[in-house]
Amino acid sequence: MIYLDYNATTPIDPRVAEAMMPYIRSEYGNPSSSHALGTRAKNAVEESRAKVAALLACKPDEIVFTSGGSESNNYIIRGVATAYKTKGNHIITSQVEHPSVLNPCKYLESLGYQVSYAPVDKYGMVRVDDIERLISDKTILVTIMHANNETGTIQPIGEIAKVCKKQGVLLHTDAAQSIGKIPVSVDDLGVDFLTVAGHKLYAPKGIGAAFVRGGITIEPLIHGAGHESGRRAGTENVVFDAALGKACEIAGIEITNNGVRELTDYFYHKLKEKFKDTIRLNGHPTQRLPNTLNIGFLGHDGHEILDNLNDVAASTGSACHSGLTTISPVLKAMGTDEGAARGAIRFSLGRFTTREEIDTAIEKLVGILL
Ligand SMILES: Cc1ncc(COP(=O)(O)O)c(C=O)c1O
């Protein structure tokens, strides 16, 4: 299997698996227990928290461990909505967000909140002017993803942050796709909240984190005992917390000069060489994650290509229901033309992708499409 679907999920890095082992095998203490076994578990959780914080350049007590990207997004969006409801009832997001942002927003609409869905340009980028125009005195939160899962387009979060700051509005970014792929500093971005999803950076599925800027209190999603400083109840998942800590430590060391951008560029140039003007790049030409290539194969259906692409794992945004192909809502919001959207395949590369795998994938694509 040639795995070119790292934006869907990543394999667990063997070094991460190793870091989990003591807590699977023998270090089973409850971090709340006062005996030595408990203390060691607590230390493991806090060391991991510090490693996550180091990757985001924030303070350890600004990190809340969660079950993943979806929970972090729900916690932050619903938590702000509840905590700030006396200040206002308006939230701004974009049309290209992940369902774990769009659906909490829809849920809040059902409770009487108002949500504005900012449009995007042809590259999938939100316009800062649109955000500025949409902010009103009722706006309590702007939530815009850092990088898009389908196209890799990176949003101008730093610019949006300036606008939010000027207007006194809180800003969240869903960074599930960017953490581990590009350097991220919460202060450089200027965000108040940020979402991390562990399984996108070589930790297991079911672990994530929320950055909540110091001094801001929001309503928890899970009420119970005082875990995570009262922000998320439930006995800590020591094994997975250790995994996320290790994954973040590795990401911090290997985030640059890891060869992924070169390999992605090589893939794109080879595709251009073979397919010439019968392919389109969906997404921003430069402001894009270094591992993501969303290619529209004109005259083809994405799901048909994937069905025929034996032993290559990739994704398509188009869906086929009862013989009818529907195009991805993200590409639709970008105004991508029908052909490039129907034939869209998202290839996403990662730490373990090799040049030989890319060469084989190209051969297979040429074999079925040319
Ligand atoms: C942009 C984005 N946000 C959130 C999520 C959800 O993360 P998780 O699968 O950890 O709930 C994903 C995962 O696909 C994602 O790509």
Q: What is the mean pLDDT of residues 270-294?
A: 98
- pLDDT the model gives residue 326: 84
For residues 199 and 176, give the distance between their C-alpha atoms in angstroms, rounded to a whole number: 9
Q: Give pTM, 2 decimals.
A: 0.98
Place of tokens 């013989």: 323
Residue 266 three-state SS: helix
Nearest to 291 by CA among 354, 357, 355, 349: 349
Verify whether ligand 1 is closer than 6 Å to residue 152 (CB atom).
no
Verify whether ligand 1 is closer than 6 Å to residue 174 (CB atom).
yes
Verify whether ligand 1 is closer than 6 Å to residue 68 (CB atom).
yes
- pLDDT the model gives residue 322: 66
Q: Are strands 170-174 and 114-118 parallel, antiparallel or unpaired?
A: unpaired
Closest ligand 1 atom to 197 CA = 10
For residues 226 and 223, give the distance between their C-alpha atoms in angstroms, rounded to a whole number: 9
Closest ligand 1 atom to 206 CA = 10
> Predicted confidence band at 313 (pLDDT cuts at 50, 70, 90)?
very high
Q: Which residues partner with 65 through β-bridges?
A: 209
pLDDT higher than threshold 70 for residue 319? no
Residues designated as active site: 320
Give the contacts of 55 (CB within 8 A, at least 6 positions apart): 179, 180, 184, 248, 249, 251, 252
Residue 27 three-state SS: coil
Q: How far is the CA of 72 from the centre of ligand 1 (A)?
A: 9
Q: How far is the CA of 176 from the centre of ligand 1 (A)?
A: 6
- pLDDT the model gives residue 122: 98
Q: How far is the CA of 318 from the centre of ligand 1 (A)?
A: 18
Verify whether ligand 1 is closer than 6 Å to residue 209 (CB atom).
no
- pLDDT the model gives residue 164: 98
Range of weakest confidence among 140-149, 314-323, 356-365: 314-323
Question: pLDDT tens for residues 250-280?
Answer: 999 999 889 999 999 999 999 999 999 999 9
In the chain the domains, ranked by start, together with CATH numbers, are: 14-253 (3.40.640.10), 257-369 (3.90.1150.10)
Q: Whose CA is nearest to atom 14 of ligand 1?
A: 8
Q: How far is the CA of 98 from the centre of ligand 1 (A)?
A: 7
pLDDT higher than threshold 90 for residue 320? no
Give the contacts of 292 (CB within 8 A, at least 6 positions apart): 7, 147, 151, 152, 264, 283, 346, 347, 348, 349
Question: pLDDT tens for residues 182-217?
Answer: 999 999 999 999 999 999 999 999 999 999 999 999
**How many CB atoms within 10 Å of residue 63?**
28
Q: What is the mean pLDDT of residues 322-332?
A: 85
CA dist list (Å): 183 to 27, 122, 180, 186: 32, 25, 7, 10
Residue 26, amino acid: S
Question: pLDDT tens for residues 41-64?
Answer: 999 999 999 999 999 999 999 999
Q: What is the mean pLDDT of residues 147-154?
A: 98
pLDDT higher than threshold 90 for residue 24? yes
Mean pLDDT for the chain overall: 97
